[in-house]
Structure 1
Amino acid sequence: MNIQSIQNKIYFIRDQKVMLDFDLAELYDVETRILNQAVKRNIKRFPYDFMFQLSSSEWEVLKSQFVTSKIEKRGGTQKMPFAFTEQGLAMLSGILKSDKAINVNISIMRAFVVLREFALTNENLTSKLKEIETKYDKQFKDIYEAINYLIKKEKQGAEQQERKKIGYKK
């Protein structure tokens, strides 16, 4: 299973990284309704922070990001999709026991690890940039003030040259 193709199916909804039921069903090679039936039979394993159903407004926003063929594949179902957090995906591995499900879950967990490592690297980079900005902010401020002073001085000199001189000519 290609980690990149899995990462493309991870969405950021309600400040959480999630995967949707129809994407998971495709990866597990089962129908979405079969996946959801298995979840409903084990609903105690899926509290709200493991799985939630999208609101219609969330679904509309998400649909606008999909390629049209992906929506057509869904068959225009009336039910809003379920979103599974990383913990919900781990719980799915306990109820879907086929070899394919096990291999797909391992790949999904690896994809989440890669995303987490990328986020940490990005956080470190952001904090280092802020540190540099703070450290050198005073120096840049001094440079900007010096440039503004020179620009003002240059404008004043040009204005003085344009004035007519008053007094006697020699």
Structure 2
Amino acid sequence: KRHQEVTDKRIDEVFKRLEANIPPMQGISYDGQVFDAYRFVSDLIRKAKRTIALIDNYVDDTVLTLLDKREKGVTATIYTQRVSDRFQLDVDRHNAQYPPVRIERFNKAHDRFLLIDDEVYHIGASIKDLGKKWFGFTLMRDIPASEIINRIKD
């Protein structure tokens, strides 16, 4: 009976968050949930008010398309290990037509992180591959985005 009460409480919390349009703090997306994963990240990007930073070593033009969902005036930066000639061409063409996305080389991260204003999301898959295989995500409540950015710049 106690287990059922705990389960019911958790389900109620999920529904409250859905109704309030608050992104979940953690979860798992399973293979084949491509649209659900895409929508989740799109919603995070849309809620940004000031800045978006993506730390991901595997980016392509689909990531640029996702970042175009941000509100006017929100800056976007991708920190990635390598920038291929093809991706640089994609970025140059993108930035000629749309609000620019900055690309910075950064080779110290293994995991992926999506920083939305002051929030840090740890994401277990590259943004370009969301929903193709299982991945988890977690809102890291105790680490401000500014701390991550400061460590990148050190």
TM-score, with structure 2 as normaliser = 0.27
Structure number with bigger Rg = 1
